[in-house]
A = this chain, B = another copy of it.
Amino acid sequence: MKRTDKKSNCAINFSLEAVGDPWSLLIIRDIVYFGKNTYGEFLASDERIGTNVLAQRLIALEEKKIITKVTSKFDRRKEIYQLTNKGLDLVPILLDLAEWGTKHDPKTEASLEWIKAVRANRATIISRIRNVLKNGGSVLKNYNSIVLKAKNTNFR
């Protein structure tokens, strides 16, 4: 029996069968946090995914409608991978994984300011991240506008 075969009708199990492997959420993290969009960029990540595994995961994520693949207009060798709305719905999970890791990994690099901002203004920040990603940005590239706009929302 393959690992991604249907094992139950539980919603959590459904999610884990979709993105519960060791690599899918790292690829999605690369898109959301770092603004990576191509095979070569994913391959260059710190975690060193294998070329074959990366290719398989991209196919699987596309089949599940979590990402889309479009050939670049400027360089037809390049395929641009982007999140669908279904993929954008995974952002809350990434935020929680980052918070748990930051809290429990003594050697983590994540910013406490970011974690605090997310905790204080979760819904606003999720919405901001979605908009930023839809306009070709990312959490790191647009960090200030995401955090500042969230703060402003508080004071308005």
Contact = CB atoms under 8 A, between A and B. Distances in A.
Contact of A11 (B8, B13, B93, B105): B105
A15 interface: yes
Interface string A44-60: 01111000000000000
Interface residues of A, number: 45
Contacts of A93: 93, 96-97, 100
Q: Copy number of this protein in the oligomer?
A: 2
Interface stretch (A72-80, A84-92, A128-136, A146-154): A84-92
A54 to B, nearest CB: 14
Contacts of A21: 20, 22
B8 A16 contact: no
Contacts of A22: 3, 16-17, 20-21
A107 B13 CA distance: 12
10 contacts: A11-B97, A12-B97, A13-B47, A14-B104, A15-B100, A16-B22, A16-B26, A18-B104, A86-B104, A122-B122
